[in-house]
Amino acid sequence: MKTTLITGCAGFIGSHLTDFLLKKKHKIIGIDNLLTGDERNLHHLKDNKDFKFIKHDVCKNLEIDYDIDYILHFASTASPTDYLKYPIRTLQIGSIGTEQILKLALKKNATVLVASTSEVYGDPLEHPQKETYFGNVNPIGPRGVYDEAKRYLEAITMAYHSKMNLDCKIVRIFNTYGPRMRVGDGRAIPNFINQIINNNDITIYGDGSQTRSFCYIDDTIKGIYKVLKSNYNLPINIGNPDEYSINELVNILKKLIPNSCNTIYFDLPENDPKVRKPNISLAKKIIKWEPNYNLIDGLNSTINYFLKLDK
């Protein structure tokens, strides 16, 4: 059995990765300091002999006695609510935390995959965004703490690959959604679903014409796994190229959930991207991956999850 260490294992994507790799017969060592992760995402694994949880801050030195084959670095304050609340911690996780993980991978001779983000492209001047685009990021804007943390994460990962010959993978994850997102996550889909379920006003920032591309969690996990198993070391976009405006997303959700909600509009936050759509040509070519879930099916699954939480 392969032994895999996953940082941020109690988070949304991290917990799904944990489940996926356990089904692939990996032994999992899960690391999380629970700053934004939720132990309830791991509760179903408490009696699983192939899963070990360690409460630990990735910015601190980590001693692991076991041999490790793979490390997946998903520790991050990934939502606007989180990284605006913890700006310094966000930068530390992306910098200090990432180097701690790279050093551990070097020590263990493990393959390491790091989770980057479409936010490295900032408010893009290229549309759709492909991996060769350098981005349009304001380093001192409110979103800069997350954007630059992930840009640094990529830079130091590539430095360890080129100078230390460490086997590294980088996934640039576009908007992903599904069960286990937090109610107060701050991102569009959980925000809107919970507002509509509770018949509250739907809050849209900007005029709603800004676009996003939404990838269901199962598709994202399969893409990440394919990158992990590949021989490719440069960044790969993982996301769904189907593009929707925020207004279109709200209209779809209002049809899926009975409601009598009003929609209210607020000013668009500073440096908020106007468009977001991945070019996944590289993923199709290198790892033979593209998403399968359509938005309606994915949203229904996510809505059902939040309805159960509400009871």
Set out the domains of the chain in order of their start, with CATH numbers: 3-177+215-240+276-292 (3.40.50.720), 188-209+243-275+300-310 (3.90.25.10)
- Helical H segments across 46-183, by residue range: 80-85, 87-92, 98-108, 144-164
CA angle centred on 199, ends 78 and 262, rounded to 5°: 90
pLDDT at 310: 58
Number of Cβ within 10 Å of residue 112's Cβ equals 26
| 129 neighbors 118 (Cβ within 8 angstroms) | yes
pLDDT at 186: 85
Collapsing DSSP states into helix, strand and coil, what is residue 180? coil
Please enumerate in sequence order all residues whose Cβ is within 8 A of that of 233, keeping only pairs 6 or more positions apart, or say none: 158, 161, 167, 168, 169, 170
For residue 236, give the nearest of 253, 250, 220 by alpha carbon.
220
Please enumerate in sequence order all residues whose Cβ is within 8 A of that of 276, keeping only pairs 6 or more positions apart, or say none: 118, 121, 124, 129, 174, 175, 211, 212, 213, 243
pLDDT at 311: 54
Q: Is the bond preceding 291 in cis, omega lying within 30 degrees of 0?
A: no
| 155 neighbors 234 (Cβ within 8 angstroms) | no
Which amino acid, 13? Answer: I
Contacts of the segment 246-252: beta carbons below 8 A, 24+ positions apart: 246/188, 246/204, 246/206, 246/208, 246/209, 246/210, 246/211, 246/212, 247/204, 247/207, 247/208, 247/209, 249/188, 249/189, 249/192, 249/212, 249/214, 250/192, 250/202, 250/204, 250/208, 252/295, 252/296, 252/299
Tokens in use for 306? 């939040």
pLDDT at 32: 98
Whole-prediction pTM: 0.96
| 167 neighbors 63 (Cβ within 8 angstroms) | no
pLDDT at 298: 98
Tokens in use for 285? 């070519």
Task: Mark whether 146 is an active-site residue.
Answer: yes
Cα(26)–Cα(277) distance, rounded to whole angstroms? 33
Collapsing DSSP states into helix, strand and coil, what is residue 71? strand
Instruction: Determine which one of 70, 83, 146, 293 is catalytic.
Output: 146
**Running along the chain, 311 residues long, what does each successive block of 10 average in pLDDT?**
97 98 98 96 97 98 95 96 96 98 98 98 96 97 96 98 98 98 91 96 95 97 98 98 97 96 93 94 98 97 91 54
DSSP state of 113: E
CA angle centred on 205, ends 240 and 38, rounded to 5°: 60
